[in-house]
Amino acid sequence: MKLNVQKRLAADIIKGSSKRVRLDTSRLEEIKEAITKVDIKALIEDKAITIKPKRGISKGRARKAHAQKKKGLRRGQGSRKGTANARDNKKKIWMNKIRLQRKFIRELKEKEIITCKEYRELYNKTKGGFFRSRRHIKLYLTDQGVFKK
């Protein structure tokens, strides 16, 4: 027995597909007699007709991708959409770099590794973008003879 009419009516009631409608095989005669929506609704409440849950979209792949991104993966050339500046703002990069370098030369001054005059000179060089990084400042000071090798 197909009972397509009953399945269609049940699908109309649940506002879904007839593929989601399941009929209790032991109560097929009772279901066969139901010809109105009211009859079908009663059978749904009576659990003679059951509705399978909707199939969702699995988040498994999305979770895996997110976990990889947290590790710093999936950042290669093929994954990039925006320009370098859109991805990492030039101003923010500069601010982080300059703050790090200024903090470093301030520490050197506080530890009295460099004099106030040397500090001012380094500060101005830093401000002018002379140094690439903290390490570059160290190399410069080693060449100047301030740091011992």
Long-range contacts of 22-27 (CB under 8 A, 24+ apart): 22/49, 22/50, 22/51, 22/52, 23/48, 23/49, 24/48, 24/49, 24/50
Q: Identify whether the C-beta of residue 113 lies closer than 8 Å to the C-beta of residue 119.
A: no
Assessment of whether the complete model's pTM goes beyond 0.85: no
Neighbours of 122 (CB within 10 A): 25
The single residue listed with the structure tokens 């010809």 is 35
The pLDDT value given to residue 55: 86
Q: Averaged over 65-90, what is the pLDDT? A: 95
What lies within 8 Å, CB to CB, of 45 at 6+ separation is none
> Burial, 49: exposed, middle or buried (Cβ in 10 Å; 0-12, 13-18, 19+)?
buried
- pLDDT tens digits, one per residue of 6-43: 999 999 999 999 999 999 989 898 888 888 999 999 99
The pLDDT value given to residue 92: 96
Among the CATH numbers 3.30.830.10, 3.40.930.10, 3.30.70.1400, 1.10.1650.10, which is that of 4-51?
1.10.1650.10
Distance of CA 66 to the CA centre of its chain: 5
Any idea where the domains of the chain sit in the sequence? 4-51, 90-144
Q: What is the CATH number of domain 90-144?
A: 1.10.1200.60
* The CA-based dihedral angle spanning residues 91, 94, 96, 100, taken in that order and rounded to the nearest 10 degrees: -160
Split at pLDDT 50, 70, 90, the class of 1 is: low
